[in-house]
Amino acid sequence: MAIISDDGSEAKRLGKKNPIVKPETIEYDNTFENSIRPKDFDSYIGQSALKESLKITLEAARLRNKALDHMLFYGPPGLGKTTIAGVIAAQMGVDIKITSAPALERPRDIIGILMSLKGGEILFIDEIHRLNKVAEEILYPAMEDFTLDMTTGKSQTAKTIRVPLPKFTLIGATTKAGELSSPLRDRFGIIHRLEFYTVDELSEVVKRTAKILDIKINEEGAKAIAVRSRGTPRIANRLVKRVADFAIVKFNGIIDKQVANESLDILKIDEFGLDNTDRALLSLIIDKYDGGPVGIETIAAALSEDVRTIEDVCEPYLLQAGLLQRTPRGRKVSPEGYRHLGIKTPSEQTRLF
């Protein structure tokens, strides 16, 4: 299986006006994250309900010699949406073309990528909730009938021609399923929400990554990293790498509980996995807005972060951990959020004894 990742940037870099995806614009992504991605169901840890149902779906498609249904994966960032798409492609023995909605700005971007697909191939579109209306309308017949409806000529002489496409599978990923239009959502045969990982699952992810990085780690060291990983394997993997650096430079090269905890303390990742931005967000709401509710735009402006970062990166885990609450009038810090920062809630402060 080849993972072909293209956002049109290579064509732009070369000064080409038309970054329609062509085979020569293929880029191979060799980031750390890609190098440790599991390639099959056995090495993909967690999301067991999804894995079990996918195994059946894939087997059925193989037995019937059919392309897989289009699939939509949603959930907070870093839970393995791209990774599971890669596993599906590898298990089916087909190529996957990876792109994201913001890279499909013009009709020719989406048309180019659709026309480059071969039978059975997977097209992965990340952040699919950001697809524009025109691109969406091109996708509808492509997903439903495997055709491209193209208009030639102008107004009265305009003609629509139908171009057949090979039977491909679209895998869409989003952190905001609610922002997908219903016609687009309805065209996915399989819709699945990815869940936060348990500490045990994350410990397995940590041990697997440490092995790939060739760094020694014991059970307690793996667990110490796992508990501070916010239920997210992408964060767990990032932390293993950072802690491994500390273990090699400052300690004896082995990650145990003490090495993990001391390293993560230095990195200012607390025992809940919160970093400086998360704590600043909670403190801001407590100190400046009496614990809330306060609007997301106000929070983002005060922290000099953009709204999307707050919504997509900070909030999902703070909400899941019960430290923050979402109300119709804005965000509120929960009593647990106060306790986590060692601050008394307003009602505790007014109580005399």
Cβ proximity to ligand ADE: between 205 and 285 the closer is: 205
Site for ligand ADE in 125-144 (CB under 6 A): none
Pairing of β 147-152 and β 159-164:
antiparallel
Q: Choose one: 37-45, 185-193, 271-279, 297-305; the region binding ligand ADE (CB under 6 A).
A: 37-45
Out of 83, 174, 175, 232, pick the active-site residue: 175
Q: Choose one: 38-46, 105-113, 133-141, 287-295; the region binding ligand ADE (CB under 6 A).
A: 38-46
Q: Is the peptide bond before 293 cis (omega within 30 degrees of 0)?
A: yes
Measured torsion, CA atoms of residues 308, 309, 313, 317, in degrees rounded to the nearest 10: -80
- Phi, psi (rounded to 5 degrees) for 155: 15, -100
Question: Has 81 been annotated as catalytic?
Answer: yes
The C-alpha atoms of residue 90 and residue 315 are separated, in whole angstroms, by 33
Cβ proximity to ligand ADE: between 38 and 291 the closer is: 38
Residue 239 engages ligand ADE in binding (rule: CB under 6 A): no
The token duo for 195 is 């869940």
Question: Has 126 been annotated as catalytic?
Answer: yes
Residue 208 engages ligand ADE in binding (rule: CB under 6 A): yes
Q: How many residues bind ligand ADE (CB under 6 A)?
A: 11
Q: Choose one: 44-52, 68-76, 269-277, 310-318; the region binding ligand ADE (CB under 6 A).
A: 44-52
Residue 46 engages ligand ADE in binding (rule: CB under 6 A): yes
Cβ proximity to ligand ADE: between 5 and 83 the closer is: 83
Cβ proximity to ligand ADE: between 84 and 314 the closer is: 84
Out of 6, 25, 37, 81, pick the active-site residue: 81
For the chain, count helices (H), then strands (E). Answer: 17, 12
The C-alpha atoms of residue 178 and residue 21 are separated, in whole angstroms, by 29
Nearest to 144 by CA among 125, 162, 126, 161: 162
The C-alpha atoms of residue 235 and residue 96 are separated, in whole angstroms, by 24
Residue 237 engages ligand ADE in binding (rule: CB under 6 A): yes
Contact yes or no for 50/194 (Cβ under 8 A): yes
The C-alpha atoms of residue 347 and residue 353 are separated, in whole angstroms, by 12
Residue 232 engages ligand ADE in binding (rule: CB under 6 A): no
Cβ proximity to ligand ADE: between 174 and 325 the closer is: 174
The C-alpha atoms of residue 19 and residue 10 are separated, in whole angstroms, by 8
Question: Has 99 been annotated as catalytic?
Answer: no
Question: Has 82 been annotated as catalytic?
Answer: yes
| Selected binder of ligand ADE within 233, 291, 292, 337 (CB under 6 A) | 233
H-helix or E-strand spanning residue 173: strand 169-174
DSSP secondary structure code for residue 78 in this structure: T
The catalytic residues are 81-82, 126, 175, 234
Which residues would be at the binding site for ligand ADE (CB under 6 A)?
Answer: 36, 38, 44-46, 80, 83, 205, 208, 233, 237
